[in-house]
Chain A
Amino acid sequence: NAGVTQTPKFQVLKTGQSMTLQCAQDMNHEYMSWYRQDPGMGLRLIHYSVGAGITDQGEVPNGYNVSRSTTEDFPLRLLSAAPSQTSVYFCASNTPYNEQFFGPGTRLTVL
């Protein structure tokens, strides 16, 4: 099993560009989440999903969209990138007991 995979590993964008961060899991978990990690801020929840077709906002959802068409995939879309979105992004799938299994992360720089 690959667990949780994320692509790309690194990305540089210019302000105003859009892109999609890909996330896939093969653990058959219903729950999936997107976090961003910034120095001194810990991990902050962006969006989460409790199953295919169901998504909800987390702590810092502005500027990001998600969709969940299958159990396996949970892409994160940046609509119009801003320098404040420079961060490391982690996708996680989690058990019903909220135990998180994280992907390797995407390091995003917005110029």
Chain B
Amino acid sequence: TQLLKQSPQFLSIQEGENLTVYCNSSSVFSSLQWYRQEPGEGPVLLVTVVTGGEVKKLKRLTFQFGDARKDSSLHITAAQPGDTGLYLCAGGVDGSARQLTFGSGTQLTVLP
């Protein structure tokens, strides 16, 4: 079983601050996804990265896949209260759902 470790587990910041959360593994993944989950709802896909070194931007969110495809980071610029939620990374080895491994998540709280 591939393991994905997310850090930090909890993060509480003030509105306007920048932050980075990390997703690390000793295994190589063919793709890595980031999801955001709000209380009482299912996770929502934010982005998929597939190439080592790839950087994708989604408004104030920047996602990076490590060169060796073992790790990823999510950077949020000028965080807003609407960014509050549980951020989950998930690594895929191939197209099978069996091979998709989720990290335990980073709970982000952005205070107004």
Contact = CB atoms under 8 A, between A and B. Distances in A.
B110 interface: no
- Main SS of chain A's interface residues? strand
Interface in A13-72: 31, 33, 35, 40-45, 48, 50, 56, 58-59
Contacts of A41: 104
B90 interface: yes
Contacts of B103: 42
Interface in B19-48: 31, 33, 35, 40-45, 48
Contacts of B97: 31, 33, 45, 48, 50, 58, 94, 98
A43 B41 contact: no
Interface residues of B, number: 25
Interface residues of A, number: 28
B48 A97 contact: yes
B104 A45 contact: no
A90 B95 contact: no
B104 A102 contact: no
Contacts of A48: 96-98
B95 A100 contact: no
Contacts of A90: 42-43
20 contacts: A33-B97, A40-B104, A42-B4, A43-B102, A45-B97, A50-B96, A59-B1, A90-B42, A97-B48, A97-B95, A98-B31, A98-B96, A98-B99, A98-B100, A99-B48, A100-B45, A100-B100, A102-B43, A103-B42, A105-B40
Interface of A: 4, 31, 33, 35, 40-45, 48, 50, 56, 58-59, 90, 92, 94, 96-105
Q: 8 closest A-B pairs (Cβ-Cβ)?
A: A102-B42, A48-B97, A42-B104, A43-B102, A42-B102, A33-B97, A98-B92, A102-B43
